[in-house]
Amino acid sequence: MKLALILLSDPAVNSEEALGRVFNALAVAYDAKQRGDDVKILFHGTATRWPARLLEKDHPAQALYAAVADRVVGVSCACSEVFGAAESARQSGLDLIKGNPVPGTSGLPSLPALMADGYAVITF
């Protein structure tokens, strides 16, 4: 199975709902990884702020994030710029993805390209 997990939730709201979304996305990635499935994790929109938070040692999802960090493809370049997360993404060692050259932006990941490559796209 090929899965592309797209995170959209905003950690800045500090809500249980946002934490639940990121935790469940990471849990799906962990399950797929354990099964030997091809899984990719991408951070879009305000979710581009998540990687820096998930690297904090006291974050409740830190251990789970560490277990699937090798499946993180990167963060949306344009979104990370708009939401102030480009530098923290770079410092986290993540790629800024810009395969979809949306006019007026530095580019975003292409979800249709993932689907064309056979990935089921799930958003959180």
Q: In the chain, where are the structural domains located?
A: 2-123
Which tens digits make up the pLDDT trace of 10-63? Answer: 999 999 999 999 999 999 999 999 999 999 999 999 999 999 999 999 999 999
| Alpha-carbon torsion (92, 96, 97, 100), positive or negative | positive
Phi, psi of 100, deg, nearest 5: -110, 95
Percent of the chain with pLDDT over 90: 96
Domain 2-123, what fold?
Hypothetical Protein Ychn; Chain: A, (3.40.1260)
Task: Average the pLDDT over 89-110 and give the result.
Answer: 94
**AA letter at 93:** G
Nearest to 115 by CA among 30, 22, 18, 40: 40
CA distance 36 to 72: 15
Task: Average the pLDDT over 109-114 and give the result.
Answer: 97
pTM for this predicted structure:
0.94
| Structure token digits, residue 40 | 């990719």
